[in-house]
């Protein structure tokens, strides 16, 4: 029995999986859009048809999860609820409708010697996705990568093992039904943690790694990977209220950025206010935030402009670089636009930052000098999102500078190659 198990493990070594993915990616590279869309739509139908099987597999994860004391939030993310399933099937159908980026010519020109140079969008190749408890990532990520002509290796958290496996298997069934090599999507089905380390060294077979999860997961991947990694780190997002701000607008933007959905990476974590408007702006805004349940952590400069009775905790040095993902907000008063930008550059995570101002000059300066993936003027930080930008489904919000920065959709899951056409040109 041990021998058989060992053989089975050998059968599906991490390298074997990566080699199958590489081979499948060569086929995926040239698949017509119509076939890719057929697979996506067929996956959506299969998920709907097999919802009971999926739930049964999901329960195999949820029960030990409860026994092992997973938090309510984690169990919630692990559950394939009606809403989670609808979001997957909606996502598949939406991705089927999105424009296929493969084969598009980004730029094209002709040289004096007659050579025609073009930059063509082509798939990246093999993408490894390493993610934590949400099983829906299996479908969301596989579908986006597949539409962009890539093969995907998925490695989910062990707590979602059965759910991930069932979802990947449905996608593979849909491929098979459409005559597509199912190895375009493979789940790395082992609970052996060293498998990830092995995967991260296969830079001859895998083109990109995208970790989706908390900071420690991403840091581990960066530390171990020889394959380029696209990172989606925290959002320590700021709203800066300028001296020239429309204060009613600033209050709405700040309130929305903090309260509308505090648990996501594009929610505001720090509010900075120019000292000349702090007295007019902060008392009502802080009161409104507190009434919405927001805990305020601030400096004496903030306290000085508030009503005597307002209870405010001190902001520590650590607060300024903390992503609360909760109804907590750090607040400070700054003497100038420059000081506001300095604060953001020093403590921020270069994810998403907003200025509220009526001065075009100050807006331009903020947009130029704040080195973040998304820099907004007079709008809530919550708009830093693929759907809100009109990019369609997103694989995450990249905090990297190379290749993809900010909301990352289909268009970032391809790369470019130079395609050059001549009629016998040689170099002198």
Comparison of 69 and 112: residue with beta carbon closer to a copy of itself: 112
Number of residues that bind a copy of itself (CB under 8 A): 71
Shortest spacing between CB 291 and a copy of itself, in angstroms: 17
Contact pattern from residue 80 through residue 109 relative to a copy of itself, giving x for each residue in contact according to CB under 8 A and a dash for the rest: -----------------------x-----x
Judged by CB under 8 A, which of 56, 115, 292, 304 binds a copy of itself? Answer: 115
Q: What is the dihedral of CA 284, 285, 291, 292, to 10 degrees?
A: 160
Residue 118 region by backbone torsions, left for phi larger than 0, else alpha for psi between -120 and 50, else beta: beta
Q: Distance between CA 36 and CA 27 in Å, rounded?
A: 12
Contact between 292 and a copy of itself (CB under 8 A)? no
Q: 235, 191, 233, 193: which is closest to 214 by C-alpha? A: 233
Interactions with a copy of itself, residue window 9-28 (CB under 8 A) = 26
State which of residues 199, 384, 396, 413 lies at the interface with a copy of itself (CB under 8 A). Answer: 384
3-state secondary structure of 146: helix
378 binds a copy of itself (CB under 8 A): yes
Q: Please identify, using beta-carbon distances, which residue of 127 and 142 lies nearer to a copy of itself.
A: 127
Report the site for a copy of itself in 303-362 (rule: CB under 8 A).
Answer: 345
208 counts as binding a copy of itself under rule CB under 8 A: yes
Q: Which of 174, 329, 363, 410 binds a copy of itself (CB under 8 A)?
A: 363
Report d(CA 322, CA 297) in Å as an integer: 12
Residue 102 per-residue DSSP state: T
In the complex with a copy of itself, the residue whose CB is nearer, 15 or 416, is: 416
Which CB, 173 or 400, lies closer to a copy of itself? Answer: 400
Smaller CB distance to a copy of itself: residue 42 or 398? 398
Return the residue matching tokens 């001296």: 243
Residue for token pair 């099983």? 135
Q: Kindly state whether residue 217 participates in binding a copy of itself, applying the rule CB under 8 A.
A: no
Residue 195 engages a copy of itself in binding (rule: CB under 8 A): no
- Our finding on whether 421 is near a copy of itself (CB under 8 A) is yes
**Ramachandran bin of 353, using left for φ above 0, alpha for ψ from -120 to 50, beta for the remaining angles:** beta
- Of the residues 41, 88, 122, 141, which one makes contact with a copy of itself according to CB under 8 A: 122
Residue 92 burial (CB < 10 Å; 0-12/13-18/19+)? buried
CA distance 291 to 259: 11
Nearest approach, Cβ of residue 252 and a copy of itself (Å)? 5
Q: Please, is 424 exposed, middle or buried when counting C-beta atoms within 10 Å of its C-beta (0-12, 13-18, 19+)?
A: exposed
State which residue, 44 or 410, has the beta carbon closest to a copy of itself: 410
Q: How far is the CB of 307 from a copy of itself (least distance, A)?
A: 26
Report the candidate in 192, 181, 153 with the shortest Cα–Cα distance to residue 9: 192
Task: Select 86 or 368, whichever has its Cβ closest to a copy of itself.
Answer: 368
Phi-psi region of 378 (alpha: psi -120 to 50; beta: other; left: phi over 0): left
**Which residues, 6 or more positions from 427, have their beta carbon under 8 angstroms from its beta carbon?**
none
**Calpha distance 253→57 (Å, rounded):** 43
- Indicate whether 34 belongs to the interface with a copy of itself (CB under 8 A): no
Instruction: Record the tokens describing residue 422, joined without a space.
Output: 């001549």
Site map 259..288 versus a copy of itself, x via CB under 8 A:
-xx---------------------------
Site mask for a copy of itself (CB under 8 A), range 152-171, x = bound = --------------------
- Which of 4, 5, 10, 426 is the binder for a copy of itself (CB under 8 A)? 426
Q: Does 380 bind a copy of itself (CB under 8 A)?
A: yes
Q: Is 407 in the site for a copy of itself (CB under 8 A)?
A: yes
Q: How far apart are CA 380 and CA 259, in angstroms?
A: 11
Q: How far is the CB of 159 from a copy of itself (least distance, A)?
A: 28
CB of 122 to a copy of itself, least distance (A): 7
Residue span binding a copy of itself (CB under 8 A) among the ranges 1-9, 92-100, 221-229, 280-288: 221-229
Q: Is 216 in the site for a copy of itself (CB under 8 A)?
A: no
Please report, as residue ranges, which positions from 56 to 85 form the binding site for a copy of itself (by CB under 8 A).
none
* The length of the chain, given as a count of residues: 428
Contacts of 258 (CB under 8 A, 6+ apart): 267, 268, 271, 289, 294, 327, 329
Output the smallest distance, CB 5 to a copy of itself, in A: 33
Determine the 3-state secondary structure of 257 from DSSP. Answer: helix
């Amino acid at each position: 029995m041990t021998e058989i198990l060992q053989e089975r493990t050998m059968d599906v070594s991490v390298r074997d999986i990566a080699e199958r993915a590489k081979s499948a990616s060569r086929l995926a590279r040239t698949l017509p859009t119509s076939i890719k869309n057929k697979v996506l739509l067929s996956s959506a139908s299969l998920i709907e048809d097999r919802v009971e099987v999926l739930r049964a597999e999901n329960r195999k994860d949820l029960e030990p999860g409860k026994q092992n004391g997973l938090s309510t939030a984690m169990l919630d993310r692990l559950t394939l609820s009606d809403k989670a399933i609808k979001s997957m099937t909606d996502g598949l159908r939406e991705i089927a409708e999105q424009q296929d980026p493969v084969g598009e010519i980004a730029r094209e020109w002709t040289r004096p010697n007659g050579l025609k140079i073009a930059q063509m969008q082509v798939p990246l190749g093999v993408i490894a996705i390493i993610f934590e408890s949400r099983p829906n990532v299996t479908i969301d990520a596989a579908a986006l990568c597949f539409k962009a002509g890539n093969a995907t290796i998925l490695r989910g958290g062990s707590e979602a093992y059965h759910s991930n496996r069932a979802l990947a298997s449905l996608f593979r069934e849909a491929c098979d039904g459409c005559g597509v090599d199912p190895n375009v999507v493979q789940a790395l089905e082992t609970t052996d943690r060293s498998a990830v380390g092995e995967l991260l060294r296969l830079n001859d077979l895998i083109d990109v790694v995208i970790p989706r999860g908390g900071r420690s997961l991403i840091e581990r991947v960066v530390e171990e990977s020889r394959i380029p990694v696209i990172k989606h780190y925290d959002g320590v997002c700021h709203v800066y209220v300028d001296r020239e701000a429309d204060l009613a607008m600033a209050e709405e933007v700040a309130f929305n950025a903090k309260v509308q959905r505090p648990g996501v990476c594009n929610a505001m974590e720090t509010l900075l206010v120019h000292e000349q408007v702090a007295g007019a702006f902060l008392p009502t805004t802080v009161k409104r935030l507190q009434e919405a349940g927001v805990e305020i952590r601030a400096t004496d400069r903030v306290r000085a402009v508030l009503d005597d009775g307002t209870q405010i905790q001190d902001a520590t040095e650590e607060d300024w670089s903390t992503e609360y993902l909760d109804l907590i907000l750090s607040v400070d008063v700054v003497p100038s636009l420059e000081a506001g930008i300095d604060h953001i550059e020093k403590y921020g995570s270069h994810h998403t930052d907003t200025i509220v101002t009526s001065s075009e000059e100050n807006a331009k300066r903020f947009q130029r000098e704040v080195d973040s993936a998304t820099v907004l003027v007079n709008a809530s930080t919550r708009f830093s999102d693929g759907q809100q930008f009109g990019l369609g489904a997103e694989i995450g919000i990249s905090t990297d500078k190379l290749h993809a920065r900010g909301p990352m959709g289909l268009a970032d899951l391809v790369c470019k190659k130079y395609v050059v056409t001549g009629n016998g040109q040689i170099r002198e």
